[in-house]
Amino acid sequence: MAELRITDVRKAYDRIQALSGVDLTVRSGTLVAVLGPSGAGKTTLLRCIAGFETPDAGEIRIDGRRVATRGASVPPERRRIAVVPQEGALFPHLSVLGNVTYGLGRSARRAGRAATVLELVGLAGFEGRMPHHLSGGQQQRVAVARALAPHPPVVLLDEPFNALDAALRAELRRDVRQALRADGATAVLVTHDQAEALSVAEEIAVMRDGRIVQSGPPELLYREPADPWVAGFVGEAVWLPATADGDRAHTPLGTIRLTPVEGRLPTGPMRVLLRPEQITLAPPGDPDAIAATVVRRDFYGHDAMLVLRLTDGTHVTARIFDPAALPPAADDEVALRVRGTARMFPPSARPGATPSHP
Ligand SMILES: Nc1ncnc2c1ncn2[C@@H]1O[C@H](COP(=O)(O)OP(=O)(O)OP(=O)(O)O)[C@@H](O)[C@H]1O
């Protein structure tokens, strides 16, 4: 394991600027998710780290050693970085053990490293199986075990759960995160899936147009996004017009407490951001409750989303965690209240991409 430090890395393909100055530090032994929409530059960044591409400018260091700088690059085999691709990484003619020990030195083999990493990914006892006798999820587990086996300084995971169905994905990403942690690996996971990044990574670096626009722990990104685009990209956003006054804002959903922005609480016209789970059904008799009409209700089992119309015509979305207590149908009158604080943005700030409900 090692620290990965990327400084002002740029890369263009003809006229397309794929990376426009990327800064990113991955601390030793941590998992960082690079999250961004299609075309943001995630794969290009990964290829620069692995050594398959040479940056036009900037530098990449692994544990202080410079491996890439403008026009000069340590070849991939000498970086010893492991890559776990989307699928199809295994040698079909080799057993699980053969795949995991491929390229391992004899001393590592003797030390039982293969058994250790197979145990980490939950495949102890699968040594003799051939890849075509494994499920898609098990094949990805072997790919992760093989990546970890030679103790690479950095593990790169390129959307490794994409080919799997939703339930399997969730289980596999939990197990892979645990295996990476238990082995102390420094890892970068590339994904366009917000829920995946939020649930797996210690830090998320949000990428857009060849740049990291914000990085930090998942909770911080979700609660305090740097701009409306990030707010909409990492989760579902409810936007309200507001007038800020001290630590409160007056909105169509009543008076809401504000989160300071860089320690400051500007006053005047604003837009405020709430997450749908901050809007709840008020208990009967709540004097501060806000009246609303149900426009639509989407039931998901573990929760439900309500689209609601406030008396001034503003629409908001609420996530209700006790669907059994839901009002039954559209056109019902309900009473709402807001939990927690809201993040504010200038009134001109435009909402960003809104992901679909997971
Ligand atoms: N070899 C290449 N030649 C020309 N343009 C390229 C090449 N590789 C990437 N690009 C362009 O660089 C930009 C960034 O692409 P990249 O594949 O890094 O994005 P991404 O975030 O990984 O997208 P996706 O999630 O769709 O894989 C895109 O505009 C892409 O078309």
Band the pLDDT of 354: cuts 50, 70, 90: very low
pLDDT tens per residue, range 11-34 = 999 989 999 999 999 999 999 999
Tokens of 217: 């722990």
> Parallel, antiparallel, or unpaired for β 211-216 and 203-208?
antiparallel
Q: How would you classify residue 38: left for phi > 0, otherwise alpha for psi between -120 and 50, otherwise beta?
A: beta
Given pLDDT bands bounded at 50, 70 and 90, which one contains residue 249? very high
Instruction: State CA 45 to chain mean position distance.
Output: 16
Give the mean model confidence (pLDDT) for residues 162-187: 87
pLDDT of residue 33: 97
What residue's CA is closest to ligand 1, atom 28?
Answer: 39
Structure tokens at 168: 């399997």
Residue 113 pLDDT: 87
pLDDT attached to residue 350: 63
Mean pLDDT computed over 85-108: 85
- Sorted by where each starts, the structural domains of the chain and their CATH numbers stand as 4-228 (3.40.50.300), 229-345 (2.40.50.140)
**Confidence (pLDDT) at 85:** 87
* Residues 317 and 203: beta-carbon distance below 8 Å: no
CA 39 / ligand 1 centre spacing (Å): 5
- Asked whether the predicted pLDDT for residue 357 surpasses 50, the reply is no
- For the cut 70, the answer to whether the pLDDT of residue 143 exceeds it is yes
- Tell me, in angstroms, the distance from the centre of ligand 1 to residue 316's CA: 36
Of 37-46, 53-62, 217-226, 347-356, the one with minimum mean pLDDT is 347-356
Buried b (16+ CB within 10 A) or exposed e, 271-295: bbbbbbbbbbbbeeeeeebbebebe
Residues 6+ apart with CB under 8 A from 123: 96, 138, 141, 142, 145
For residue 79, the CA-to-ligand 1 centroid distance in Å is 23
Q: Binning pLDDT at 50, 70 and 90, where does residue 355 land? A: very low
Whether residue 358 has pLDDT greater than 50: no
- Pocket-forming residues, ligand 1, beta carbon under 6 Å: 13, 16, 18, 36, 38-44, 192
With 80 as the cut, is the pLDDT of residue 329 above it?
A: no
**pLDDT at position 61 over 50:** yes
